[in-house]
């Protein structure tokens, strides 16, 4: 058995659903898959002494799950007053409209197409519902509209799919861009160094107790993959599918379509930086 403390980011063991920090509770959606790991983490965030709560990523359009989120909040004496989205992928956002119907809340997101109400989200915004302080951190790369939420009181950051609790994330080309993603990882690293963030509350997988270690692992992993892709191209593997077969040979083939999205993003990055020829 592998010691969890030895794994990148020190993933927390035990049941995923339930309290994760004094202000954050996870309700795990029943949509486990190779891409969603154990399922989507729907986060209920609130000040302990407040009767108002914020929900981040209601998850898939699954009435049972959405009602479970409402019930979990109500059992804790909370009323859900606002819904936020880290990004628009269906496993995070498809249930948002139905959830808004159940709770009467607005839905705030970076992408105007996902919003319900007049307010969106932007870098530097601070959510203060029920005395809570959540700071909006732009973290594009996985998708163009990806956001994270800094929870200073718990020295935590909710990362959506930018950092996962297990494994690594896909840069979803063409919407996602690798240069943006690397900048986002560096932005999160700054939170760990300058703002004392030590806990990652991810969109999938377990809570990570070592935020800085997780970010450093992700940065090193991306540098390693970039070098592998560049070498593959130099060795004549020029089509994205060929690069995937060469670089991701040890990865489950069911994940190769997702890997190809990341490879295309890496090829674009290498081309933009003059490291491979533009005709690739």
Residues annotated as part of the active site: 91
Classify 97 as helix, strand or coil: helix
Classify 149 as helix, strand or coil: strand
CA gap 110, 117 in Å, rounded: 12
CA gap 62, 159 in Å, rounded: 22
C-alpha pair distances (Å), 5 with each of 13, 41, 83, 275: 10, 21, 33, 37
Place of tokens 């919003």: 115
CA gap 57, 98 in Å, rounded: 12
CA gap 235, 7 in Å, rounded: 32
CA gap 49, 145 in Å, rounded: 32
């Amino acid at each position: 058995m592998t010691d969890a403390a030895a794994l990148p980011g020190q993933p927390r063991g035990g049941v995923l659903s339930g309290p994760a920090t004094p202000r954050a509770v996870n309700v795990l959606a029943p949509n486990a898959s190779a891409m969603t790991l154990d399922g989507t983490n729907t986060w209920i965030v609130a000040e302990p002494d407040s009767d108002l709560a914020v929900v981040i990523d209601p998850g898939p359009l699954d009435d049972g799950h959405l009602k479970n989120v409402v019930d979990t909040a109500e059992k804790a004496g909370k009323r859900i007053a606002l819904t936020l989205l880290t990004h628009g992928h269906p496993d995070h956002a498809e249930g948002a409209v139905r959830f808004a119907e159940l709770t009467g809340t607005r839905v705030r997101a970076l992408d105007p197409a996902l919003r319900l109400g007049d307010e969106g989200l932007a870098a530097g915004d601070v959510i203060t519902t029920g005395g809570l302080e959540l700071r909006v951190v732009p973290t594009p790369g996985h998708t163009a509209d990806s956001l994270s939420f800094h929870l200073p009181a718990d020295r935590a950051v909710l990362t959506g799919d930018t950092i996962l609790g297990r494994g690594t994330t896909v840069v979803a080309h063409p919407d996602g861009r690798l240069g943006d993603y690397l900048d986002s990882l560096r932005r999160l690293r700054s939170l760990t160094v300058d703002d004392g963030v030590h806990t990652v509350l991810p969109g999938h997988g377990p809570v990570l107790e070592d935020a800085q270690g997780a970010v450093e692992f992700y940065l090193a992993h991306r540098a390693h993959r970039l070098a592998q892709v560049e070498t593959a191209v130099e060795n004549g593997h020029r089509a994205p599918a060929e690069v995937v077969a060469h670089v991701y040979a040890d990865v489950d083939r069911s994940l190769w379509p997702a890997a190809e999205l990341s490879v295309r993003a890496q090829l674009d990055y290498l081309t933009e930086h003059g490291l491979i020829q533009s005709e690739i």
